[in-house]
Structure 1
Amino acid sequence: MESYGSTGLEGLLHKSYTVKISEYIGSGWATLKKNLGGFVGFTLVVFLINIAIAKINQSASPVGTLISLLISGPLNAGFFIVAFKLLRNRATTFGDFFRGFNNFLPLFLVSLISSVMIGIGFLLIIIPGIYLAVAYTFALPLVLEKKMNFWDGMEFSRKLISKNWFSFFGFAFVLVLLNLAGALLLGIGLLVTIPLSVCAIAAAYADIIGLPSSTSDF
């Protein structure tokens, strides 16, 4: 697991790397098992929040959509916060899953703007949307872990992943298949496959970008 300063991060754009799909999924599973109850419990909380938002939307009120836009980034960051702590062999608590709200604005912005860009891409004959959905894989963890602003995180992720986009597409495709399998188990399997997917992405981030233990409080 190699670490990089800000200069080293830019240097990554000039280095080659390999996307190790099976290794990342294996590492993700090992990370998930370290706090299986916490990950499953948090995923259930996220499900319940989304159900509540859906019920609000049934009343034709825009409030539910607004709430979803506001909280999705910080909530998704919670998975990465705990995964990163476990990859650094640090102790975790259930409260760590909600620490994304301590860094609300940049996480909200990267989630919102990347979703808008991907949505526009899908409107443009679908292919640009698929490209951006894969290319922004590291945008949220970069904003979270490297304290980048939302646009720099999105652009750095896009440039880095575009160097090996088709391999990342294969990685994303495997994760989609895992979650489809989880959905087939009456949806219950998603309680495991969703956090497994995030832990696998965290493993890829640690391998390709680096996860130094001295530069973060999680």
Structure 2
Amino acid sequence: MSIDTSPNPFATPSSSLQDPIASGNVPSIEEALSRGYDFSIEALIKDAWARVSGTKGLIVAGFLVYIVVVQAVSFVLGLILGVGYVASGTEPGIGATIVQMVVGILAGTVGYPFLAGINMLGIRRAAGQPVSFNEMFSHFGQFVPLLITGLVMTVLIYIGMLLLVLPGIYLSIAYILAIPLVVERKLSPWQALETSRKAITQHWFKVFGLFVVLGLIMMVSAIPLGIGLVWTLPLVIISVGGLYRTIFGVLPPAN
């Protein structure tokens, strides 16, 4: 009697990190959402830590570029809008608050392409693909969809925070993969937000736990003058990249 040795399509994956790209099969968005996924927080962080070496300089440099750009834009906009505020004679308390909100939102929008580049550095590293500092400057062609995604995400999270806080916490975790979905899968802003939400919701509490652990690691690493952040900041970015890879797979870079 012969024994059927073909793989069981219903068998539980042997690894806690499912990696579709390892077999050359990157699922479509619909397939990624329907097939389900699972991961181990410990295994994902360990895998990310093993990939930090050789990448931390790129990711830290990327964050420095992002911070410098956002701060520079904030400074310039603050001067421009601040002059308008003083001349208008607006009530100081209310006017200052409005100026700060507008400056923060506008400066943040300019930084979205850089933020997308940082995300993609982590995703490509997690997928074992080549990474380059040029990734930081590769997504300005999608500035408008990134802007819309970021603004809608921010507004919805703020509204959620006003509604007893918990909806805002839920959305802040659920939308964590929206920005990379815009640049890596070319989804529209609403498609990216909903795809991220639907995927994360399948294991929301585990993803929340992942970020709690990563947050604690960063807090501890920041104690000695923040020096440890040189390692833990890339760890967080690559961990998010590993989560993205686990759920959606990663397409090869465009030639």
Using the size of structure 1 for normalisation, the TM-score is 0.84
Structure 1 regions of 5+ residues with no counterpart?
A: none
CA–CA distance in structure 2, aligned partners of residues 191 and 52 of structure 1 = 23
- The residue type paired with residue 147 of structure 1 is K
The answer for the alignment partner of 1:116 in structure 2 is: 155
1:97 CA drift (Å): 1.7
**For 1:201, what is the secondary structure of its paired residue?**
helix
Using the size of structure 2 for normalisation, the TM-score is 0.73
Pick one of 29, 35, 39 that aligns with 2:59. 39
- The residue type paired with residue 217 of structure 1 is A
- The residue type paired with residue 10 of structure 1 is E
Alignment size in residue pairs: 214
1:113 CA drift (Å): 1.2
1:44 CA drift (Å): 2.3
The answer for the alignment partner of 2:3 in structure 1 is: none
CA–CA distance in structure 2, aligned partners of residues 111 and 50 of structure 1 = 14
Deviates more, 1:197-206 or 1:83-92: 83-92
The answer for the alignment partner of 2:197 in structure 1 is: 158
- Structure 2 residue 206 is the aligned partner of structure 1 residue 186: no
- The residue type paired with residue 118 of structure 1 is I
**For 1:184, what is the secondary structure of its paired residue?**
coil
- Residues 114-172 of structure 1 deviation map (CA, whole Å, 9 limit, x = unaligned): 11111111111110011001111221121121111010111011111111111111112
- The residue type paired with residue 254 of structure 2 is D
CA–CA distance in structure 2, aligned partners of residues 48 and 183 of structure 1 = 20
Change (3 A) 1:84 1:113: same
- Structure 2 residue 144 is the aligned partner of structure 1 residue 144: no
CA–CA distance in structure 2, aligned partners of residues 17 and 85 of structure 1 = 19
CA–CA distance in structure 2, aligned partners of residues 191 and 58 of structure 1 = 30
- The residue type paired with residue 49 of structure 2 is W
Instruction: Point out 4+ residue stretches in structure 1 off by more than 6 angstroms.
Output: none
The answer for the alignment partner of 1:13 in structure 2 is: 33
The answer for the alignment partner of 1:107 in structure 2 is: 146
Pick one of 199, 206, 210 that aligns with 2:245. 206
- Residues 74-124 of structure 1 deviation map (CA, whole Å, 9 limit, x = unaligned): 121111222233344443332222222232122222122111111111111
Pick one of 35, 44, 49 that aligns with 1:24. 44
Contact 1:43 1:195 in 2 (8 A): no
Contact 1:107 1:150 in 2 (8 A): yes
Q: Percent identity?
A: 32
Contact 1:56 1:64 in 2 (8 A): no
Deviates more, 1:53-62 or 1:115-124: 53-62
- Residues 166-185 of structure 1 deviation map (CA, whole Å, 9 limit, x = unaligned): 11111121122223224433
1:200 CA drift (Å): 0.4
Structure 2 regions of 5+ residues with no counterpart?
A: 1-18, 83-98
CA–CA distance in structure 2, aligned partners of residues 51 and 189 of structure 1 = 23
- Residues 176-206 of structure 1 deviation map (CA, whole Å, 9 limit, x = unaligned): 2223224433344434433321210111111
The answer for the alignment partner of 1:217 in structure 2 is: 254
**For 2:138, what is the secondary structure of its paired residue?**
helix
Deviates more, 1:185-194 or 1:162-171: 185-194
Pick one of 102, 105, 122 that aligns with 1:83. 122
CA–CA distance in structure 2, aligned partners of residues 137 and 184 of structure 1 = 26
Deviates more, 1:140-149 or 1:101-110: 101-110
- Structure 2 residue 169 is the aligned partner of structure 1 residue 130: yes
Pick one of 198, 204, 207 that aligns with 1:168. 207
